Amino acid sequence: MQFAKRMEQFGDGIFTRLSEIKRRKMAEGEEVIDLSVGTPNIPPAQHIIDAIVDAASDKKNYIYALNDQEDLLEAVSVWYKNRYGVNLKPETEICSLLGSQEGLAHISLSILDAGDLALVPDPCYPIFADGPRLAGARLYYMPQKKENGYIIQLQDIPEAIAREAKFMIVSYPNNPTTRLAPDSFYRELIDFAKKYDIIVLHDNAYSELVFGDRKGGSFLAFPGGKDVGVEFNSLSKTYGLAGARIGFCLGNAGVISRLKTLKSNMDYGMFLPLQKAAIAAVTGEQSCVEVTRRTYERRRDILCEGLTALGWKVEKPEATMFVWAAIPAWYSSSETFALDLVEKAGVLVTPGSAFGPSGEGHVRMALVQEEGVLIRGLDLIRDSGLFGTVR
């Protein structure tokens, strides 16, 4: 059998390697606390579940959806207006996705030809780089470095690269670095995109998981945002709907129409009961969003304060469901540290290098376990002796 060369660039993937270690340890009867994959464990609010159940009991709802239903597009448009202050035309500026991952994977195929240049953040959520790679594009990494508050420095992108680039992906609040960008960044981004005629994709999966005084917003709320690009949003974390696969691409009508055309050749639309769930989520009572935010905030505090007390000084993130921690000074590789942590303490985290070259020196911990489990994880780390015998 012969397979496509494009598959050779993927390898096994770090998540596969990590889950293999987890499987082996568990088969040996050892305890493993998994903080590696960002799979949320906070269930949806009851009114959202009820909407799915009601719609799923209606036999008419098992046809191909083919399109986004009018009531869904209307609901999303009202949600964007109320929540982010953004006006969107339902028919032409909104496209549902089978999870934002699906849209992020496919959109490159509608913008990039083989050999084109895409600008992606480093470190980044893996599909930001893998989507353009699937389209055969070349990548230019925009570093997100600690000394710059983990924010992309647009002025550092060489002129020749900016002229050549066809699109760029940016995302704040950021996975894995957990940072929010200042408003000034978005203004500069829009100017930059206009100057060099670059399409901007802004991934906004974590606007509702911002802690403290700041509030997450939308890239489309900045003047000119819709002229240069689109935003991806996801109901996975905000409403606990990860397994239902509900996301949206919103903004520039030209970009949206190409994506819709591409998708009409790939899938037959979102299961109608899930369209009803999305409507219930974005139009219903929003207190569940605050409950979710507070749950992640408490987990963040337990983990960061606990690790710091053990001798691993870990900063509290300002947003997202992740902790981005510098590895202890006596390690030089995030993979080696992650392997030691799982072997000696049974706590599974993701090495920063899995997110790109600038991720080295860090690990990412996902706040996807209950408070009691996080406390147990802290005990395991303490008992492993990796950080001395502090108590």
Q: Which is nearer to ligand PLP, 125 or 196 (CB)?
A: 125
Near ligand PLP by CB under 6 A, which window of 94-102, 155-163, 268-276, 308-316? 94-102
Q: Which is nearer to ligand PLP, 275 or 380 (CB)?
A: 275
Is residue 236 part of the contact set for ligand PLP (CB under 6 A)? yes
Angle at 308 between CA 306 and CA 314, to 5 degrees: 110
Is residue 178 part of the contact set for ligand PLP (CB under 6 A)? no
Q: Which of 321, 281, 338, 348 is nearest to 125 (CA)?
A: 321
Cα(first)–Cα(last) distance of the chain, in Å? 57
Structure tokens at 231: 């935003």
Q: How far is the CB of 227 from ligand PLP (least distance, A)?
A: 23
Specify the DSSP class assigned to residue 66. -
Is residue 239 part of the contact set for ligand PLP (CB under 6 A)? no
Q: How far is the CB of 387 from ligand PLP (least distance, A)?
A: 28
Site string for ligand PLP, 22-41 (x = CB under 6 A): ----------------x---
**Element at 247 (helix H, strand E):** strand 247-251
Residue from 99, 132, 217, 306 binding ligand PLP (CB under 6 A): 99
Q: Which of 375, 388, 390 is nearest to 309 (CA)?
A: 390
**Residues 245 to 264: which contact ligand PLP by CB under 6 A?**
247
**Residues 199 to 218: which contact ligand PLP by CB under 6 A?**
203, 205
209 vs 225: CA distance, rounded Å: 22
User: In 3-state terms, the chain is what percent helix, strand and coil (to 5)?
Assistant: 50, 15, 35
Give the Cβ contact number of residue 33 at 10 Å.
21
Q: How far is the CB of 386 from ligand PLP (least distance, A)?
A: 27
φ/ψ of 172, rounded to 5, equals -140, 140
Residue from 69, 77, 108, 175 binding ligand PLP (CB under 6 A): 175
Near ligand PLP by CB under 6 A, which window of 54-62, 93-101, 142-150, 356-364? 93-101
């049974």: which residue's tokens?
346
Binding site for ligand PLP (CB under 6 A): 38, 99-101, 125, 171, 175, 203, 205, 234, 236, 242, 247
